[in-house]
Structure 1
Amino acid sequence: MNRMKQWVKALEQSLFDDQPICSESKAVRSGAWVHFRLFELFVAAWAIAYAWTWGLYTFKSSVVVLELGLANYIHVASLFGLPSMVIAALVTLGIAVSITRLWRWGYLIAILALHLQYVVRFSQGEIPHSSNLIGFALLALGVGIATHKDPVAQVRFTWGFLWFFVGLGYTSAAVSKLVGTGITWIDGQHLVLWIHEKAIDYASMTGAWSPNVLQSAILNSAWVGTLSLFIGWFTEAIGVLMWFRRLRPWVVLVTIGMHFGITWTMNIVFVAFVMQLILTGFPWVEWITTLQQKTRMSPSSSDGPTLKS
C-alpha cells in the first residue's frame, strides 16, 4: 500500500509539478507562458473551425445516418441547418470570453456546445479522429481554468490533466485491441483487408487507386503487415510513458511516426492530431526561452523595445 502511495505521489509530481511554469527561473516561466498561450490559440482556432465547418455541412442533408451517443436521446435532425449555426456561434463566444479571461467558465460552455455539434455532424456520417484530441484539449483548458483562479495552477492542471488522459488514451487503445480480437490483432492479413477497404473508398472518390511502396510491400507479404501492426500496437501500448516529462518527446515522436504510418497504409490523415502532438510534446519552452534570451542579447535589441519577462 505504501509503495502504491509512493508511485501515485511520483506520478502526480511528474504530471503536475515537474513543469517549466514551476521553474525558479523567470526566463523559463516566461517561455512557459508564451507556449501555453500559443497552445490556447491553436486549440481555439481548430475548435472554432470544426464548429463552423460541421455546422455548414448539416445544410447538405436532412437524413440521420448514424444515431450514436446523444443522438439516441435527442432529435438531432432538428439541429441541422440554422440551429447548428447557433451552436457554432456559442462555441465561438465561449472560447472568446475564456481566452481573453473575461469569464473563466467559457471553455466549458464551448466544449459542451462543440460536443453537441460533433454529435449533430456525426449523425450524417463519420468524422476524422483528429477532432477528438482537439476536443479533449478544450476540455482540459475548460476544467483547468474554471476550477483554478491562480494562473499558474491553471497551467499546471491543464498540462497534467491533458497528458494523463492522452497517454492513457493511447494505451487504452492498445488494450482494447487485445480485448476485442486478442493477440491475433497484429495478423498482417487484417491490414491487407483494411488496405483493400480503404482502396475502395479512395477509388469511389477519385475514380482510381494504386498502392504506394509501403502498401505494395504489405499486399505482397503479410509478414510485413504483421510487423507494421505490431509496431503500431506497441507504440500505442507505451502511451502512458507520456506521463513522464523526460520520456515524453521520444514517445510523442514515435507516436507521430505511427500516425504517418497509418496515413501511408490506409490513407487516414491526422492533421490536427499530429500538429497538436508536435506543439505539446516537444521542449518548446526551452526553445522559446533560448530565443527570448538571444533576442535580448542581440545588438539590435537596444535600438527598440525589449521583451519583458
Structure 2
Amino acid sequence: MDRLLRNLFHFEAPQSIGTKIQLRAFEFFTVIYTLLYTWEWAFYVPRLSDVVLPLGVANYLNVEIFFSELATVNAIVITLSCLIPLLFKRLRWLYVPAFLLFHLQYVTRFSQGEIPHSANLVAFSLMGLALAAVFVRDIKKSLPFAFGFTIFFLGLGYTSAAISKLVATGITWPDGQHLWLWIGEKSIDILSKTGEFQLNWLQELALSSRFIATVILTFGLVAELLGFLVWWKHLRPYVTLALIGMHIGIDLTMNIFFKTFTIQLIIMGFPWNRYINNFSKRLRSLPLKAFGRYLLY
C-alpha cells in the first residue's frame, strides 16, 4: 500500500521546474475545461422546462429553478471560484464551492435522461483540487495530492468500464459482430444528421472481417481492463499510450472522439516533469527559474 501511495502522490524532484510545470498544466487544464463545460451548459439550460431524470443533488433540490438566468449566475460564480484560486494560491479553498456548483450545473443540464461522461474526469480533477485545498495546507503537497487523486480515479474508471461491459454482455462482448452493429448505428445517426456518410479505412477493414473487428474490440477491452496500472509510474506511459490508442480507435470506428479524456491523458500520463528537467539542464541560459517563480508555486 505504501508503494502504491508513493506512486500516486510523490514526484521525482518535487521542487523542480519540470514537476511544477506539469502540476500547473494539470490545474490549468482542469480550470479551462470546467469553465468550457460550465458556460456550454449555462447557455443550454434555459431551453429546458421539466426534470425527467433527477441526478445527484437534484434528488433533493428542485433544479427547475435554474431553468432560467440563474444558470448564467451560477456560471459566473463558478468562473470566479476557479480563476481566483488559480491565480491567488492562498485562496485555494474556493475550489470547494466551484466543485459543488459545477455538480449543480451538471445535474441541471443533464436532467433530461441523456447522461454523457465527457466531463466526469474533469469533475474528479476539480474535486481533487477542492479536497487538497481543505485537507492539504501545504501548496507544495496539495497539487501532487490532486494529481494523484485524479490518476487513481482515472485508472479505476477505465477498469470499471471494462468490467461493466463484461458484466452486461459477458465474455462475448468483443465479438466483431457487435462492432458491425455499432458502425451501422453510427452511420445512420450521421446520415440523418448530415445527409451523407462514407466509411473510412478502419471501418471498411473492420466490416471486411469478423476476426479483424474482434481484434479491434479485444484491444479496446484489454486497454480499459488494464487501466488501473496507471497507478504505477513505470507502467503509466505505456498504459496511457494504449488508452489513447483505444480512443483513436473509437473515433475511427464509431465517430466518437473523447477529446477531453485524450488531452488529460496526454497531460497526466507521461513523465513530462522529467523531460522538462532534462531540457532545462541543457538550456541553462533560459530564465526558467524566474518563469517558475511567477507562474507556478
Aligned to 1:208: 196
Aligned to 2:128: 140
TM-score normalised per structure 1: 0.87
Deviates more, 1:125-134 or 1:264-273: 125-134
- 2:76 matches 1:89: yes
CA separation in 1, counterparts of 2:120 and 2:52?
A: 20
- 2:251 matches 1:263: yes
Aligned to 1:16: 9
Could you tell me the percent identity over the aligned residues? 44
- Deviation of the 1:61 alpha carbon: 3.8
Question: 1:290–1:207: structure 2 CA closer, same or farther, 3 Å change rule?
Answer: same
- Deviation of the 1:120 alpha carbon: 1.4
Aligned to 1:228: 216
Contact 1:144–1:154 under 8 Å retained in 2: yes
Contact 1:129–1:270 under 8 Å retained in 2: no
CA separation in 2, counterparts of 1:308 and 1:161?
A: 24
What code does the residue aligned with 2:17 have?
Answer: S
Q: 2:226 aligns with which of 238, 241, 260?
A: 238
- Deviation of the 1:43 alpha carbon: 1.0
Deviates more, 1:73-82 or 1:43-52: 73-82
Q: 1:164 aligns with which of 152, 157, 178?
A: 152
- 2:168 matches 1:183: no
CA separation in 2, counterparts of 1:204 and 1:77?
A: 32
- Deviation of the 1:144 alpha carbon: 1.5
CA separation in 2, counterparts of 1:275 and 1:308?
A: 23
Aligned to 2:281: 293
- Deviation of the 1:218 alpha carbon: 2.0
CA separation in 2, counterparts of 1:172 and 1:71?
A: 25
- Residues 123-142 of structure 1 show CA distances to partners (whole Å, capped at 9, x for unaligned) of 24636533111111111111
CA separation in 2, counterparts of 1:73 and 1:307?
A: 47
- Residues 140-182 of structure 1 show CA distances to partners (whole Å, capped at 9, x for unaligned) of 1111222111122212312221111111111111111111111
Gaps of 5+ in 1: 1-7
Larger RCO: 1 or 2 (CA < 8 Å, sep 6+): 2
Aligned to 2:262: 274
How do 1:42-191 and structure 2 match up within 5 A? 42-64=29-51, 66-99=53-86, 100-124=88-112, 126=114, 128-191=116-179
What code does the residue aligned with 1:160 have?
Answer: G
- Deviation of the 1:280 alpha carbon: 1.1
- Deviation of the 1:271 alpha carbon: 1.1
Deviates more, 1:260-269 or 1:57-66: 57-66
- 2:30 matches 1:38: no
Question: 1:202–1:308: structure 2 CA closer, same or farther, 3 Å change rule?
Answer: closer
CA separation in 1, counterparts of 2:96 and 2:222?
A: 34
CA separation in 1, counterparts of 2:141 and 2:121?
A: 22
Question: 1:201–1:265: structure 2 CA closer, same or farther, 3 Å change rule?
Answer: same
CA separation in 1, counterparts of 2:186 and 2:52?
A: 20
- Deviation of the 1:217 alpha carbon: 2.1
Gaps of 5+ in 2: none
